[in-house]
Amino acid sequence: MPATVKGGVELRKALRKFAPDLGKELPKEIAVALKPIVKAAKGYLPDNQQVLSGWLPRPNLQGTFPTYDAKLVRSGIGYKTTPSKPNRRGFRSLARVFNKTAAGAIYETMGRKTPNSRFVVNQTSKYGSSMKGTDKMEGRVLFRAYEENHGKASEAVLKAIKTAGDKLKAKAKV
């Protein structure tokens, strides 16, 4: 899933400064590459009838465990084409697909470490979703959608960045 691009952030800054039209075109091309993954990921989420009844919102809920609401979880899946802040190792993401809800994150990763837990076994027997990917890149929604995309999105993002860099070089020569 991750790919290393050196100078990506600097390229985006240069595009904004010297070629604003290319600076606006690059995020649009990246978005076109990421939209199929987001759409597929939203399709892999179960409806409210397909999750365990104890995981659904209930009146007078006192617990702190997040409840599952299909509409909220679907709306929490999206993408960003802006560079992120550097992590503790100094890496940034130029484009990313995310799931910002707690219930969606739980559904994505449940069973990764404890596949035989009662929660995972009961949920899997009710709604048999499959995990795709390997190790830390294994999941039921986002990672599955990316895996089934066969790297087309990653290739398209890298191609868009390379094309923007080439166009900027061509403009600089003129």
Nearby residues of 109 by Cβ (< 8 Å), 6 or more positions away: 138, 139, 140
Q: What is the pLDDT of residue 107?
A: 84
Contact 34, 142 (CB under 8 A): no
Q: Looking at residues 14-42, what average pLDDT do you find?
A: 89
Tokens matching residue 82:
């802006």
Q: How many CB atoms lie within 10 A of CB 132?
A: 18
pLDDT tens digit string along 62-109?
667 788 889 999 999 999 998 889 889 888 888 889 999 999 888 888
pTM score above 0.85: no
**CA distances in angstroms from 66 to 43, 58, 90, 107, 108, listed in the order given:** 21, 11, 32, 11, 14
| pLDDT for 161 beyond 90 | no
What mean pLDDT is predicted for residues 121-141? Answer: 71
CA atoms within a 13 Å half-sphere pointing along the CA-CB vector of 132: 15
Strands of 64-147, DSSP E: 77-80, 96-99
